[in-house]
Amino acid sequence: MQTVQNHSTVTLEITGMHCASCAAFVEDALSQTQGVKRAAVNLASEKATVEFLPTMVNVHALTAAVENSGYGARELKHDTNRAAQAEATEERKRNEYDALKRRFTLAAVLAAVIMPLSMTMLVPSVEHWIHQAIGMQALNGMLLVLTLPVLLVSGREFYVSAYNAFLHRMANMDTLIAVGTGAAFAYSVVATLFPALFEQNGIRAEVYYDTTATIIALILLGKMLEARAKGQTSAAIKKLMNLQAKTARILVNEQEREVSIDAVKRGDVVVVRPGERIPTDGEIIEGASSVDESMLTGESLPVEKNVGASVFGGTVNKTGAFRFCATNVGAETALAHIVRLVEEAQGSKAPIQRLADKISSVFVPTVVVISLLTFVVWFNVMPAETRLPFALVNFVAVLIIACPCALGLATPTAIMVGTGKGAERGILIRNAESLEKAHQIGVVVVDKTGTLTQGEPSVTDFVMLNDTMTREDALQYAASLEHYSEHPLASAIVDYAEAEKVDAVFTVHDFLAVEGKGATGMVSGENVAIGNTKLMEQQKIIMDSEATSAAVKLLAEAKTTMYVAVKGAIVAVIGVADTVRETSLEAVQELQKRGIEVVMLTGDNRQTAEAIAAQVGIKRVFADVLPHDKANAVKQLQSEGKIVAMVGDGINDAPALAQADVGIAIGAGTDIAMEAASITLMRSDLLSVVSAIELSRRTMTNIKQNLFFAFVYNVLGIPLAAGLLFPFTGWLLSPMIAAAAMAMSSVSVLTNALRLKAVKL
Ligand code: ADP
Ligand code: MG
């Protein structure tokens, strides 16, 4: 359970769901519980994500609500035992699959016997012989006995589920199967036991045991294939969970001891040997190595790590040996966060699915009406001796072909494979809605510092303006003040002073960071201000011609300029260069190629911004934007009627990220606590943005194909099954073919969704 402000989110594992109606039913039960803000049930992952107010309802009440509606629920906890829980889930699914397989095998074997026995009726000489030998009724009785186990053992679950739904005054997809096969069976039983009832009216007492058995066998086969494929949709998250090491070697009294991962506490010293998987997050205290972090960030090159560097659980140590101090353990590690994020995203619901849900909710009752109409119409138009069996067969065919099983799987399976695929590439998608929205992005707004550029600015020029003080003093004032600032520009100045062997030792009072402008404070008793022209204006410091001309020169070189004012007069101008990332130009071009406009948004001055924009091919620039105005700039672009994505490092871009339709936080590395972003990119590389948008587009196309596959069978099948073409072409749909088509539809949806795994990003 995870608590954000006043509401909590919990992931529940739901058991016993068969179809989209079941999922809708569970979702309703959760949503209608007092204190639940939002509930989304995913049929493919068999999970529910519930947002609720802990003051009004607890997890226990939520699981109770699910159980009352006839299903099972269990909370998924996000601690180190996550892997064990996943193992338990796997085990349960394996058992379910095995049970399904046994049920199918029984049905298939019996159907294989029932079918040829029923066929004998079609061959007149054989029929005659049977008539002579044992009599028709005896044969039918034999078929009845053979079909009974198919119904009661193999098909039991359909009838139980349909009955439960009926108790709740609901109809689900099992209702269709239960009524369809039940009707065929009941008719056959009457025809077997009381053939006279039919023969009196001149109707042949036909039986449909083969239909009943075959439908159940085929539907079970479909479910089996479906369960197989469904398991593969969560392969990515399984892979992530398996990255978690089971044990760690920690130092206890200077002795190395192997302990279970659950026993590792914050502050423990962990020993890592070459080639080993790093067990938890921490900071290197001894030794050095290169570490393969590709499993978390998607970055294939190993990263060099020295004393003081952060390491992350799940990554692989390459060559060196080192010791590190554990910082985050259990549910707090970066890996655990990623798993949680991906799981929540996979459990969430895409807006496009609401449409599918709405359709499937009216589908079942509509189909029941159509099937009844089919029965009534044929019963009235056909000649007396064939009207009952004819009406019945078509009634059953409609019920079976119409079952919208695949409809419930179309969206969630694609979302699961898509988000999993993203996670493998260091693209973490918060929820299905973000994934869906990303394919409509028309404008990508990028922050300059840290996004287009390396974000590691370095001082290139420190220009003295007059001789009121020495260069060393000016630098010392600047570095002493900036020591207190967390801005990357401030660190650049501090680093520069260090390199020049100037110690920042002046005492500082009243340090003030002026957002988007600079910093001020009393340094060694003097008033010092460092920042841009806006800061100088605010501080009423006169910009003399000497300062201006020094700045103009730096600006022409696309450098960020800052003024250092001491005692109200500018003493120096600082030029800072930040290298443009190698991939920025390519990424901008790739986005533009896809018809997406790229806009730069920065707090830096216009000249510098324009110069960088020109280097990467960006035409529209918002410069001199104060951090709190960044969100307004996004709003302005939205008012132009486009879907806007904002890409930022999240440091001072959080409001803009939240305002954007799709907020993309870049360069999270392994610090992924990004609340404002809908997509978090582990790599600081604008090309990941292209990949994210590409992934979204592919996923949406896939969903649309799935919806097509789910619908095409139903839409084409229903009129055929109802016998609409019979008067013209003599075409009908056998209920057995209908069952095969239905199973095919689920299988084709899943196979198609799994194709997403192969997408190159
Ligand atoms: P960005 O949009 O590139 O992240 P910011 O909004 O953080 O930029 O800062 C905008 C401008 O304010 C910087 O380009 C710089 O001129 C000035 N500035 C901000 N903080 C400082 C600081 N600590 N020292 C000097 N200048 C600063
Ligand atoms: Mg910034």
Which residues contact residue 264 at a Cβ distance below 8 angstroms, ignoring those fewer than 6 apart? Answer: 248, 250, 270, 279, 280, 326, 329
- β-pair type (662-665, 679-681): parallel
Q: Is 134 helix (H, G, I), strand (E, B) or coil?
A: coil
CA end-to-end distance (rounded Å), the chain = 33
**Residue from 494, 573, 604 whose mutation best tests the ligand 1 pocket (most atoms within 8 A of CB):** 604
Distances 222 to 211, 406, 750 between C-alpha atoms, Å:
16, 10, 11
Q: Determine the Cα–Cα distance for residues 227 and 633; give it in Å rounded to an integer.
A: 48
Q: Is 360 helix (H, G, I), strand (E, B) or coil?
A: helix
**3-state SS record for 567-607:** CCEEEEEEEEECCECCCHHHHHHHHHHCCCEEEEECCCCHH
Q: Are 322 and 364 in contact (CB under 8 A)?
A: no
**Residue from 530, 532, 601, 649 whose mutation best tests the ligand 1 pocket (most atoms within 8 A of CB):** 532
| 602 CA closest ligand 1 atom index | 2
DSSP string, 117-180: HHHGGGSHHHHHHHHHHT-HHHHHHHHHHHHHHIIIIISHHHHHHHHHHHHTT---HHHHHHHH
Structure tokens at 723: 């016998």
Please state at what angle helix 735-754 crosses helix 687-721, rounded to 10 degrees: 180
Residue type, 275: G
Structure tokens at 513: 């960071």
Q: Determine the Cα–Cα distance for residues 345 and 102; give it in Å rounded to an integer.
A: 34
Q: Determine the Cα–Cα distance for residues 219 and 104; give it in Å rounded to an integer.
A: 9
Please state at what angle helix 20-31 crosses helix 156-167, rounded to 10 degrees: 40
**Pocket lining: 564 vs ligand 1, CB cutoff 6 Å:** no
Ligand nearest to the CA of residue 604, numbered in listed order = 1
Ligand nearest to the CA of residue 448, numbered in listed order = 1
Q: Determine the Cα–Cα distance for residues 757 and 417; give it in Å rounded to an integer.
A: 6
**3-state SS record for 445-486:** EEEHHHHHECCCCEEEEEEECCCCCCHHHHHHHHHHHHCCCC
What pLDDT score does 223 carry? 87
Q: Determine the Cα–Cα distance for residues 638 and 627; give it in Å rounded to an integer.
A: 18
| 560 CA closest ligand 1 atom index | 14
Structure tokens at 659: 């305002």
DSSP string, 661-708: SEEEE---TT----SS-SEEESSS-THHHHHHHHHHHHHHHHHHHHHH
Stretches in the chain below the pLDDT threshold 50:
673
Residue with tokens 């099972």: 72
Q: Are 696 and 445 in contact (CB under 8 A)?
A: no
Q: What's the pTM value of the predicted model, to 2 decimals? A: 0.83
**Pocket lining: 602 vs ligand 1, CB cutoff 6 Å:** yes
What pLDDT score does 684 carry? 82
Count Cα neighbours of 347 within 13 Å in the Cβ-side half-sphere: 24
**Pocket lining: 249 vs ligand 1, CB cutoff 6 Å:** no
What pLDDT score does 353 carry? 83
**Pocket lining: 487 vs ligand 1, CB cutoff 6 Å:** yes
Q: Determine the Cα–Cα distance for residues 159 and 225; give it in Å rounded to an integer.
A: 21
Distances 206 to 137, 184, 190, 398 between C-alpha atoms, Å:
11, 10, 10, 20
**Which residue's alpha carbon is nearest to atom 13 within ligand 1?**
604
Element (H, E) at 640: none
Residue 492 — φ and ψ, nearest 5°?
-60, -40
**Pocket lining: 608 vs ligand 1, CB cutoff 6 Å:** no
Distances 476 to 121, 262, 510, 575 between C-alpha atoms, Å:
104, 49, 17, 16
- Alpha helices (H) in 234-274, listed in sequence order: 235-241
E strand intervals along 262-390? 269-272, 282-287, 289-292, 303-305, 310-311, 316-317, 322-326
Measured in angstroms, how far is the CA atom of residue 489 from the centroid of ligand 1?
A: 7
Residue 446 — φ and ψ, nearest 5°?
-120, 140
Give the length of the chain. 761
Enumerate residues with CB within 5 Å of ligand 2 (an ion): 449, 652
Task: Report DSSP state, residue 277.
Answer: B
Q: Is 354 helix (H, G, I), strand (E, B) or coil?
A: helix
Residue type, 131: H
Structure tokens at 590: 């790739």
Measured in angstroms, how far is the CA atom of residue 515 from the centroid of ligand 1?
A: 7
Measured in angstroms, how far is the CA atom of residue 31 from the centroid of ligand 1?
A: 46
Task: Report DSSP state, residue 276.
Answer: P
Q: What is the average pLDDT score of the chain?
A: 88
Which residues contact residue 99 at a Cβ distance below 8 angstroms, ignoring those fewer than 6 apart? Answer: none
Radius of gyration of the chain measured on its C-alpha atoms: 34
**Pocket lining: 650 vs ligand 1, CB cutoff 6 Å:** no
Residue type, 343: E
Residue with tokens 């009423």: 540
**Pocket lining: 604 vs ligand 1, CB cutoff 6 Å:** yes
What pLDDT score does 561 carry? 93
**Pocket lining: 737 vs ligand 1, CB cutoff 6 Å:** no
**Pocket lining: 326 vs ligand 1, CB cutoff 6 Å:** no
Distances 696 to 431, 648, 701 between C-alpha atoms, Å:
12, 19, 9
Q: Determine the Cα–Cα distance for residues 659 and 633; give it in Å rounded to an integer.
A: 10
Q: Determine the Cα–Cα distance for residues 354 and 348; give it in Å rounded to an integer.
A: 11
Q: Determine the Cα–Cα distance for residues 677 and 689; give it in Å rounded to an integer.
A: 13
Residue with tokens 């700039």: 633
Which residues contact residue 72 at a Cβ distance below 8 angstroms, ignoring those fewer than 6 apart? Answer: 14, 15, 16, 66
Q: Determine the Cα–Cα distance for residues 636 and 650; give it in Å rounded to an integer.
A: 20
What pLDDT score does 693 carry? 96
**Residue from 486, 517, 666 whose mutation best tests the ligand 1 pocket (most atoms within 8 A of CB):** 517
Beta bridge partners of 529: 520, 565
Kindly report, residue by residue over 617-675, the tens digit of the pLDDT: 999 999 989 878 899 999 999 999 999 999 987 667 888 888 999 999 887 655 654 56
What pLDDT score does 8 carry? 86
| 649 CA closest ligand 1 atom index | 4
Count Cα neighbours of 137 within 13 Å in the Cβ-side half-sphere: 8
| CA dihedral angle for residue 563, residue 565, residue 569, residue 573, rounded to 10 degrees | -30
Q: Are 122 and 281 in contact (CB under 8 A)?
A: no
Q: Is 201 helix (H, G, I), strand (E, B) or coil?
A: coil
**Which residue's alpha carbon is nearest to atom 9 within ligand 1?**
516
Residue with tokens 């390519």: 586
Which residues contact residue 117 at a Cβ distance below 8 angstroms, ignoring those fewer than 6 apart? Answer: 139, 142, 143, 146
- Alpha helices (H) in 382-462, listed in sequence order: 387-402, 405-424, 432-437
Catalogue the active-site residues.
Answer: 447
| 630 CA closest ligand 1 atom index | 2
